[in-house]
Structure 1
């Protein structure tokens, strides 16, 4: 299998990065590669944390790290200090490429600790506790995802229009598809798209990936709606889309391709092709060639068509586990085909299309981002402004789900405005509640556990939601 520098070498005379200098990418990658080689001790490569704001430098650092066989951690430069603290305590990096915001400077100088298993690619994802954790991938698992996508869509060059973060698996995979299949790539921000910037591409030759919130915003603009309708394919993932959004996209003839996948699967393992979407199909589509998806009961029995159960995934693109890898966290290896039981509920119809019906956990997906109530509740409790709190979600046409905090204020002087201001630097913006519901007490049973059915009824009947 071709390695990163091999793909770059093949494209050295190809101007494939639109609005960026393709040749500069090669130069910076080589410079980073030499730096990483020099930092290796006794043949052991350093642990590298990438927090580059500049997309060209981010991609160069990523390619150089993989080529130098470094364990590399992809990071969000805009994490708040609490999140950086978690990362540093767990990772203890040897090197940092980039200047992340709110970095806890107490960690300098960095220790040279080294990671015992090189050549791993750590991609950030949420955990059951809401803390930052990293899914452990390899170049091979990422390439398996690229190959499955490439085959599913006809083995042509994959041109990508990327508005998603490169440290997310969704953005990273767009880059890898274009790099390795001979396609073109444009990297920009969604804000520039909304501003109506004129991009020098032919949309009919490009894939674009969006989360439902971004699609919703585009459909509010006639110009952007027309622009999206001219793309080859509009991949939609990150969170389940609501039926009214899908119907609106269909009315405007948007070539939508809803997907199902996660960081642990190196993006999508199920995708609906636009021709099926435009004829009225609202499923997630069919399984890509590199994966196998089954529906299983709570006793691990495989279920048949139209039977709802837990979604189980087998794929060569599955991550090896979470950093640091422990035997109990491995999915298990069977002839290079791993197995992962998700917490998603769904079923296959008689034609083999996957339908997602919900999740077995309390995880909230808002604007394509995972939010775990336990983390938000802990942050609100840490303000010492509430006596009790429970975080849930309400349906939202803009975000898919809106994070909602039900709380018991410590005194009558505690306002929502004060809570919001106090919480500002404790959580990333997407994790902060969009709605606040003050109550005299949170409904709990005799064991002290929250009565979520009663809580949800309370939230949905609160005046602001009427």
Structure 2
């Protein structure tokens, strides 16, 4: 394996890291690397929790840990006490780098981390390469860490560059670096000799932009970020000049896609996840602007097959469970490396059309069964958005003693005087009668995480409380 530090020699020290001192970054990496090498000289490499807020220190610490063959766990500094308790119980780290909002009582934090403590009772999986643990989940349940390596991340980069037919990747990153969507932007630029601009999204939204030539850059956004940028005419114009605007993290709604198309945003909707080291399918911008609607074609480093519940491979245009094979697949979830992790069967349902484009129709776990009929919320939500009477919508099933589950729409009306009867009337020509929600619950906002994913468990509680006391 090529050592991560070798890539530093291929970068233009003066300008590859836009907005920061690249020379200072290189020096910091070397210093941290030497410290970690000394710590692990006579013992197994220390397990490192990385929760740095400061960009240079985060990236330098990450590279140094990988180069020194230290297992590194990427963490969100803003996790609460309960989440940090989960992480400490699971990881039992040797070193903590950074400062965590809710972790003050968990350990002694500082610029150089905690002292080394022996953790023989919680050994790392046996592997001859540095392990990179990337968090997944946590929006409504237990935090898990997908186990990646430098090789799985590089495989993702190679698939990306081959798919877009480029050698160097210039990235404008506004997503958190501890998340796979932010980390992979760094990895793409760093390992291909490209340039990297990093700016917090709140700073960008306030109107501050870095001096770059957008036509040479990729930018990655989640749907809620795209929506907010398109509300600002100056930022809309700025965004329209990017080579490619990758869009992922959560399903985008039809109205948002249409708005992006109207402003000629070179959007590239993607499909991927933490376990696949970002996207394994992407719709190219020209396809998007020409009216194509899907998650695009599968990248060269991956293969997607569609199966029925019996495991049989389905033909084109037949909906079934998605199974992924990819060189970028995670090895498992910490602390277990799974043997023969060749086929990753996900919860998503979809189909491959005649041209090999991947189309996502919903999730198996979100399937609602009402009166014996199988319903997937994505279809209902899309139809409701097309009425252009709601600003946001989520369809869930709540327990019902007669029907098993009752279809329930929780939505934000665009105007306060919009009646549910008007929405239902518009849906009659689009949906079967059993697919029109029984209950309609207006809200001022819907609970979404930073990636734009909805918290359905919380929505179910909101719905049940509302229906028990609708006049409250």
The two structures have a TM-score, normalised by structure 1, of: 0.77
Cα distance in 2, alignment partners of residues 435 and 361 from structure 1: 14
Verify the 8 A CA contact 2:410 2:463 in the aligned structure 1: no
In the alignment, the residues of structure 2 paired with residue 322 and residue 116 of structure 1 have an alpha-carbon distance, to the nearest angstrom, of 11
Compute the displacement of 1:128 (Å).
Answer: 10
What CA distance in whole angstroms lies between the structure 2 residues aligned with 1:315 and 1:227?
35
Quote the residue 1:404 is aligned against. Answer: none
How far 1:215 sits from its partner (Å)?
Answer: 0.6
Distance across 2 between alignment mates of 1:253 and 1:463: 44
User: In structure 2, what is the Cα distance between the partners aligned to 1:192 and 1:291?
Assistant: 35
Query: Aligned residue for 1:31?
Result: 31
d(CA) in 2 for partners of 1:311, 1:197: 41
Cα separation, 1, equivalents of 2:186 and 2:245: 16
Aligned match of 2:189: 178
From 275, 294, 298, give the equivalent of 1:283.
294
CA displacement at 1:219 relative to structure 2: 1.0
Q: After superposition, give the CA deviation of every residue in 1:373-431 in whole Å (9 maximum; x if it has no partner).
A: 9xxxxxxxxxxxxxxxxxx9846699xxxxxxxxxxxxxxxxx9xxxxxxxxxxxx986
Shift of 1:179: 0.5
**Which structure 1 segments of 5+ residues have no match?**
366-372, 374-391, 399-415, 417-428, 442-457
1:16 and 1:396 map into 2 onto residues whose CA distance is 43
Q: Does residue 88 of structure 2 align to residue 88 of structure 1?
A: yes
Q: Is it true that 1:228 corresponds to 2:236 in the alignment?
A: no
- Deviation per CA, 1:69-98, whole angstroms, max 9, x where unpaired? 011100000000000000000000000111
How high is the TM-score relative to the length of structure 2? Answer: 0.76
The residue aligned with 2:225 is 214
CA contact (8 A) 1:71 1:117 kept: no
Name the SS for the 2:336 alignment partner.
Answer: coil
Give the deviation of 1:189 after TM superposition.
0.8
Q: Does 1:111 align with 2:111?
A: no
CA RMSD, Structure 1 to Structure 2 (Å): 3.3
Secondary structure of residue in 2 paired with 1:85 = helix
What are the residue-to-residue correspondences of 1:265-276 with 2, within 5 Å? 265-276=276-287
> Who is 1:100 aligned against?
100
Q: Give SS of 1:105's match.
A: coil
Identify which of 346, 349, 352 aligns with 2:350: 346
User: Closer, same or farther in 2 for the Cα pair 1:288/1:438, shift >3 Å?
Assistant: closer
Measured in 2, the distance between the counterparts of 1:45 and 1:187 equals: 30
In 2, Cα distance between the equivalents of 1:38 and 1:440? 57
CA distance in 1, matches of 2:352, 2:10: 41
**Does the aligned pair in 2 maintain the 1:33–1:67 contact within 8 Å?**
yes
Cα distance change of structure 1 residues 135 and 257 upon mapping to structure 2, 3 Å threshold: same
Displacement of 1:2:
2.7
Counterpart-to-counterpart distance in 1, 2:38 and 2:292: 54
User: Residues of 2 paired with 1:284 and 1:14: CA distance?
Assistant: 37
Deviation, 1:157, is: 1.2
- 1:58-207 equivalences under 5 Å are 58-107=58-107, 111-113=117-119, 115-117=124-126, 119-126=130-137, 130-207=141-218
The answer to whether the Cα contact below 8 Å between 2:147 and 2:333 also exists between their aligned partners in 1 is: yes
* 1:265-414 equivalences in 2 (<5 Å): 265-325=276-336, 330=338, 332-333=340-341, 338-362=342-366, 394=410
Shift of 1:115: 2.5
Separation of aligned partners in 2, 1:304 and 1:430: 31
**How far is 1:10 from its partner?**
2.1
Asked if the contact 2:51–2:77 (Cα under 8 Å) also holds between the matched residues in 1, the reply is yes
User: Per-residue CA shift, 1:273-304, capped at 9, x if unaligned?
Assistant: 00000000110000000000011101111011
More moved, 123-132 vs 91-100: 123-132
Contact kept, 8 Å, 2:14 with 2:21, in 1: the verdict is: no
Describe the shift of the 1:45–1:133 C-alpha distance in structure 2 as closer, same or farther (beyond 3 A): same
Deviations 1:109-146 (A, max 9, x none): 66321535351100000179711110000000000000
Task: Assess, with a 3 A threshold, how the Cα gap between structure 1 residues 267 and 260 changes in structure 2: closer, same or farther.
Answer: same
- Residues 295 and 143 of structure 1, relative CA distance in 2, 3 Å threshold: same
SS in 1 for 2:176: coil
